Structure 1
Amino acid sequence: MTIQKIGIIGAGQMGNGIAHVMALADYDVVLNDVSQQALDSAIESIEKNMARQVSKGKIPAEAMSTAMARITPTLALADVGATDLVIEAATERETIKQAIFDELLPHLLPHTILTSNTSSISITRLASRTDRPERFMGFHFMNPVPVMQLVELIRGIATDKETYAACHGVVERLNKTAASAEDFPAFIVNRILMPMINEAVYTLYEGVGSVQSIDLSLKLGANHPMGPLELADFIGLDTCLAIMNVLHDGLADTKYRPCPLLTKYVEAGWLGRKTQRGFYDYRGETPVPTR
């Protein structure tokens, strides 16, 4: 099938990043959110990020103006239904995602493919609540979307070959690389990444090292571009905790038990960069470790 019009639900960091790359790849984009402020902020972020690409010579100025004209923001979820492909990029909570799909179903075209940008939740379970489980799959972008090359494609138990092929074609048109993952908790990237971050938090919790020494050790000792605690702040500690809970609940293995210190930070509302405090305090000129 031909995909030309794409609906994106959620205008946060992931949603606006997906809209950004889709518009640059000449797709028409309908960007939805429940908040006008979130939509305004998303358009502002996309413009700023594209302008940065123009200044670095990565895209011509005319490509930016054409791409921005392809994005239509809307508060009405029904507007997303009249598209060829829907990518849900809302909060990483299953109840929220289910409610979105329930509300969207009556407005879909017969051929519309449904996908979720979930980083951990069962695709099969999300698909089972819709009227088209064969045209439903996981479409997991990495953050920040305009920079990261990988997209995880996750087939649910009912996903058909045509749906997978259509989504794979979109990834290729974006000049990104697809990795196929089976529908098990957290898929590939987060199945490996999140336990590492959780173990780094345990290392801090048990006093083995400070925030600074843990991050420095992984950057210089394992050649990681970013330390695990710095990365956790970038991802969002609430998202890290949600994924660890999905792993722990879904696989019933104690090695996935979230560190109590991670839970404590989330309870405090210290979620990382987005709240200005996490394992680092970002309120000053330079980040300062909070432990």
Structure 2
Amino acid sequence: MSLQSPIPPVAQNSELVDFWNEILAPKFVRFRHVLVGGLSRHSEAVLPALRVPAGGRVLDVGCGFGDTAIQLARTAREVVGVDCCEAFLDCARDEVRSARADNVRLIAGDVERGLNEGQFDFVFSRFGTMFFANPVAGLRAMRACLAPGGTLAHIVWRARSDNPWVFDALEIVREFLPAPDATARSCGPGPFSMADEETTRAQMQAAGFRDIEFQRIDAKVLVGRDIADAVAFQLAIGPAGETFRAAGALAEERRPQIEAALAAHFRTIAERNGGLWMDSSSWLITAR
């Protein structure tokens, strides 16, 4: 079997995974240029120093479009990238083929429900663990993938106040629309569910990890090629996008005013390097 051959999920998808595949994945693919162009700033800042074991086996959880798996494969003997979204994996397979990364294998699956992949020397995740429906169970499942003495490294967003690239837009949208109610479908706990160091440390300890360390990463992230792209991105993805989607017909009725308000905000952001860039902040969390 080719290392790039997909393997069926080990269990039936959860409602959360279905939501990602049906609702979010097409939007993420549409704005792939924003997501990869921005989020890679956080992984590129730390990957060279992560001590990925040369010749070891690495698991990339929530591998998305495959860029981190390809980077990890430059050091590791084998990298297994897993994601619950088939649309992401389709893109990742193209990237792996283009990079001729023959030691990367991509599989569809939900790590929270377990993987039949043996043990790894290193487990990595960039902005994936925040979406675990049950963080302790998800982290415990990642620990189960590690060989004795193996290392986990995952990147998660820090406090909302340090991430104006999404929360400035949310404040603007909330001027026009109500917050989603408890019945609204969502991506799970949300991208900022692991922002609090004390809470996340306790979750990792409960999952059985030790030698837990937090390192702050600050980086400019791309929010759009231009103002129109930035407005469309915010109304599709993230907290502002969730509010807009949940509001349904009311959101569409007020779209012109919302788009105008967002455009006015993004006009205050200076264009450089082919787009609009804003401040963001994350944690690199490592543990054994």
> In which range does the TM-score fall when normalised by the shorter chain?
0.3 to 0.5
Q: Which has the higher contact order (CA 8 A, sep 6+)?
A: 2
TM-score, reference length from structure 1 = 0.41
Which of the two has greater strand per residue? 2
Structure with greater helix percent = 1
